[in-house]
Amino acid sequence: MKKNIIILLGLIICFSCAEEPSYEIPKHDCIEPDIEITNSLGQIKEMYIDRLIGIDQDLHIEGYVVSDDEQGNIYKVISIQNDFENPTEAIQLIVDKSYLYGIYPVGTKLYISLKNLGLDKVNGVFQIGYIHESSLIRIPSIKIDDHIFKSCESHEVSPRIIDIKNIDDSLIGMLISIENIQFASEDFGLAYGNLNNTYSVNRNMRIYDELCHEESSLILRVSGYSSFKNNTLPVKKGTITGVLGKYNNDFQLYIRDLSDVNFTQSPCIPLLENTFQTGIVNNLPIYIDGWVNFTEKGSEQWSGGIFRGDYFAQFSAYGTDEDENIGWLITPNINFAQTDEVYFSFETSKRSVDEGFDGFEVLYSNDWDSSLKGVNTANWQVLEAVLASDDDDDYDWVNSGEIPLVFHPNGYYIAFKYTGSGTDTKKDGTYRVDNIRAVVR
Amino acid sequence: MFLVFNSFPQDNEKARLRISNSSNYTPISGVKVSDIIMNKIYTSNVNGYIYLEYIHYLALEISKKGYKTIKVYLTEDDFIDIEGCIVFLEKINVPDKSLINISEIELIRQNDIPELKSISGLYNSRGDLFDRHTMFNMSNARFRRRGYNYSENTITINNIKINSLYDGNVNWSTWSGIMHALKKDESTSYIESGNLSFGKMGSVTNYNSSPSNFRKITKAMFTQSNKTYKYRRQIMYNSGVLKDKLAFNLILSRKSSERSYFEGTDYNLDSFLAAIDYKIQSNSQINFTFIYTPLVKGKSSPNTKEVWGLTNNKYNSYWGFQQGKVRNSRIKKVKLPMVFLNYKYNIKDNIVLKLNILKQYGFVYNSRIGYNRAANPLPTYYQYLPSYFVRYSDDENFSNAYLVEKQFRENQEYRQLKWDDLYYINSSNPKSKYYMYDDVVSSGILKGNASLEIVLDKENKLNISSYLTIENSENYAEMTDLLGGELYYDTNPYSSGDAMYQDLENKNKPIKKGDRFIYNYEIESMQTGFAIKYKIHKYLWDSNITLDLNSTIYRRNGIFRNGGFANNSLGQSELLSFFGKGLKWDNSFKLSNRSFIKMNSMYSQNPPTVKTSFINMRVNNSVNPYHELELRKSIDMAYYYTGDSDKFQTKIFYSQLNNTVDGNFYFAQGLKNDSDDFVSETMYGINKLYKGVEIGFEKHFLAQYEFFTILNYGEYTYANKPKLMLQSESTNIENGNYGNVYIENYRLSGGPQAVFAFGLKYNSPKYWWVGLNNNFAWKNYIQISPLLRTSNFFEDENGSILNDIDRTKIISLLKQEDLGSSFYMNMSGGKSFRIKGLSFYLFISMNNIFNKTQYSGGFEQSRNANYELLLADKNREKPLFPSKYWMSYGTLYFLNLSVRM
Q: Which value does ipTM take for this structure?
A: 0.71
CATH number of A160-267: 2.40.50
User: N- to C-terminal Cα distance for chain B?
Assistant: 24
Neighbours of A409 (CB within 10 A): 7
SS3 track for B564-613: HHCCCCCEECCCEEEEEEEEEEEEEEECCCCEEEEEEEEEEEECCCHHHH
Q: b or e along B735-761 (b: 16 or more beta carbons within 10 Å of the residue's beta carbon)?
A: ebebeebbbeebbbbbbbbbbbbbbeb
Break chain B into its structural domains and give their ranges. Answer: 15-126
State the average pLDDT over residues A299-327: 90
Examine domains A41-154 and A160-267 and report if their fold is the same. Answer: yes
Residues of chain B found within 8 Å of residue A8, distances taken between Cβ atoms? 218, 220, 235, 899
A64: Cα within 13 Å, side-chain hemisphere = 21
Tell if the CB–CB gap between B323 and A18 is shorter than 8 Å: no
CA A199 to the chain's CA centroid: 15
Nearest residue, CB atoms, B296 vs list A18, A28, A98: A18
Q: Does A1 touch chain B (CB under 8 A)?
A: yes
Q: Return d(Cα B552, Cα B554) in angstroms, integer.
A: 7
Distances (CA, A) of A191 to A29, A222, A413, B148: 44, 10, 30, 53
pLDDT at B38 over 90: no
pLDDT category at B880 given cuts 50, 70, 90 is confident
pLDDT at B594: 77
Q: b or e along B338-355 (b: 16 or more beta carbons within 10 Å of the residue's beta carbon)?
A: bebebebebeeeeebebe
pLDDT at B109: 33
Q: Return d(Cα B881, Cα B137) in angstroms, integer.
A: 34
Residues of chain A found within 8 Å of residue B220, distances taken between Cβ atoms? 8, 11
B539-593 pLDDT tens trace: 788 899 999 999 999 999 999 999 888 888 899 999 999 999 999 999 988 887 7
Query: One-letter amino acid identity for B667?
Result: F
Among chain B residues, the shortest Cα distance to A143 is held by B400
Order across the sheet with B15-21: list the strands: B49-52, B15-21, B85-89
Query: One-letter amino acid identity for A135?
Result: S
Q: Does A7 touch chain B (CB under 8 A)?
A: no
pLDDT at B358 over 90: yes
Q: Return d(Cα B308, Cα B385) in angstroms, integer.
A: 12
Q: Return d(Cα B873, Cα A346) in angstroms, integer.
A: 57
Q: DSSP string covering B857-873, please?
A: EEE---SB-SHHHHHHH
Tell if the CB–CB gap between A9 and B235 is shorter than 8 Å: yes
Q: Are A114 and A147 in contact (CB under 8 A)?
A: yes
Break chain A into its structural domains and give their ranges. Answer: 41-154, 160-267, 273-440
Q: How many residues does chain B have?
A: 901
pLDDT at B14: 62
The shortest C-alpha distance from B322 to chain A (Å) reads: 8
CATH number of A41-154: 2.40.50
B444-479 pLDDT tens trace: 999 999 999 999 988 899 999 999 999 999 999 999
Q: Are B428 and B422 in contact (CB under 8 A)?
A: no
* Enclosing H/E stretch for A8: helix A2-11
Q: Return d(Cα B442, Cα B522) in angstroms, integer.
A: 9
pLDDT at B217 over 60: yes
The secondary structure of residue A412, as a DSSP letter, is B
Residue of A116, A156, A126 lying closest to A43 (CA atoms)? A126
pLDDT category at A213 given cuts 50, 70, 90 is confident
pLDDT at A10 over 60: no
Range list of H helices, A47-135: none
Per CATH, the homologous superfamily of domain B15-126 is Carboxypeptidase-like, regulatory domain (2.60.40.1120)
Order across the sheet with B855-859: list the strands: B303-304, B884-887, B855-859
Q: Return d(Cα B292, Cα B312) in angstroms, integer.
A: 36
Residue of A65, A63, A64, A59 lying closest to A46 (CA atoms)? A59
Q: Does A152 touch chain B (CB under 8 A)?
A: no
SS3 track for B391-438: CCCCCCCHHHHHHHHHHHHHCCCCCCEEHHHHHHHHCCCCECCEEEEE
Domain A273-440 matching CATH 3.10.270.10: the answer reads: no
Nearest residue, CB atoms, B272 vs list A13, A15, A141: A15
Size of interface A-B (CB pairs under 8 A): 101
State the average pLDDT over residues B123-144: 67
A349-392 pLDDT tens trace: 999 998 888 899 999 999 999 899 999 999 999 999 999 988 89
Tell if the CB–CB gap between B374 and A16 is shorter than 8 Å: no
State the average pLDDT over residues A4-32: 67
Residue B453 phi/psi, 5-degree rounding, is -115, 115
Strand A250-254, strand A214-222: pairing = parallel
Tell if the CB–CB gap between A9 and B270 is shorter than 8 Å: no
Among chain B residues, the shortest Cα distance to A18 is held by B268
Q: Does A227 touch chain B (CB under 8 A)?
A: yes
Q: Which of A59-63, B251-255, B333-337, B524-528 has the lowest mean pLDDT?
A: B251-255
Q: Which of A354-363, B10-19, B763-772, B825-834 has the lowest mean pLDDT?
A: B10-19
Among chain B residues, the shortest Cα distance to A132 is held by B397
Q: Return d(Cα A280, Cα A314) in angstroms, integer.
A: 11
Higher pLDDT, B418 or B383: B418
Residue of B565, B374, B499 lying closest to A231 (CA atoms)? B499
CB-based burial of residue A378 (10 Å sphere; 0-12 exposed, 13-18 middle, 19+ buried)? middle
Nearest residue, CB atoms, B268 vs list A18, A23, A197: A18
Strands (E) located in B227-315: 231-238, 246-257, 267-281, 284-292, 295-298, 303-304
Higher pLDDT, A273 or A127: A127
Residue B657 phi/psi, 5-degree rounding, is -115, 105
Residue B874 phi/psi, 5-degree rounding, is -70, -25
Tell if the CB–CB gap between B252 and A15 is shorter than 8 Å: yes
> Which of the residues B373, B501, B669 would you substitute to probe the A interface, choosing the one with the greatest number of A C-beta atoms within 10 Å?
B373
Residues of chain A found within 8 Å of residue B235, distances taken between Cβ atoms? 8-9, 11-12
User: N- to C-terminal Cα distance for chain A?
Assistant: 105
pLDDT at B35: 84
Q: Which of A42-56, A189-203, B586-600 has the highest mean pLDDT?
A: A42-56
pLDDT category at A187 given cuts 50, 70, 90 is confident
pLDDT at B792 over 70: yes
B708-739 pLDDT tens trace: 999 999 999 999 999 998 877 554 444 578 88
pLDDT category at B765 given cuts 50, 70, 90 is confident
